[in-house]
């Protein structure tokens, strides 16, 4: 188990042990400035290509407001410098970077690291 006394090498080893990168899809499968839903086992993940900012984000697909599996179909944009997604049901917005609810509610969403290599998109899952 990780403790704060470990040096950075241990932290790296921890990351290698606990983050599983799975190939979610091809980069071309994700719409420009939009999202898709991908599954990792039984977990639905919303994957977004924020083309305008040349950035990728992944979050849980379930909106915590009414538990709709909908965030991958939400509109993305920015609030100040913060990239965000708006749930298509009641328009609550969430930071794509941190998962924080930007609509003033307590609910936050889970975010996942994303990397793109050779045209393939990988999402990191902590296990
Ligand atoms: S279900 Fe997403 S805002 Fe209500």
Per-domain boundaries in the chain = 31-109
**Residue-wise pLDDT tens digits, 69-79:** 999 999 999 99
This prediction's pTM: 0.86
Residue 6 above 70 pLDDT?
no
| Residue in 46, 90, 101 to alter for ligand 1 test, most ligand atoms within 8 A of Cβ | 90
Q: Atom 4, ligand 1: which residue's CA is nearest?
A: 90
Looking at the chain, the whole-number percentage of residues with pLDDT higher than 90 is 82
- Rounded Cα gap, residues 88 and 33, in angstroms: 15
Tokens 């407001």 map to which residue?
65
- Rounded Cα gap, residues 119 and 100, in angstroms: 29
- Rounded Cα gap, residues 76 and 88, in angstroms: 10
**End-to-end C-alpha distance for the chain, whole angstroms:** 13
User: Which is nearest to 75 in space by CA: 96, 55, 60, 98?
Assistant: 96
For the 31-109 domain, the top CATH level (class) is mainly beta
Ligand 1 centroid from CA 92, angstroms: 6
- Rounded Cα gap, residues 123 and 40, in angstroms: 9
């Amino acid at each position: 188990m990780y403790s704060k006394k470990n040096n950075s090498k241990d932290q790296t080893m921890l990351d290698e042990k606990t983050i599983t990168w799975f190939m979610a899809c091809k980069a071309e499968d994700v719409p420009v400035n939009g999202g898709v839903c991908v599954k990792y086992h039984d977990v639905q993940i919303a994957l977004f290509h924020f083309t305008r900012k040349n950035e990728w984000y992944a979050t849980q697909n379930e909106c915590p407001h009414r538990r709709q599996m909908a965030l991958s179909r939400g509109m993305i944009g920015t609030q100040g410098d913060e990239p965000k997604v708006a749930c298509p049901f009641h328009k609550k917005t969430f930071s794509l970077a941190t998962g924080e609810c930007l609509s003033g509610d307590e609910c936050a969403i889970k975010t996942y690291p994303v990397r793109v290599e050779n045209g393939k998109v990988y999402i990191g899952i902590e296990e």
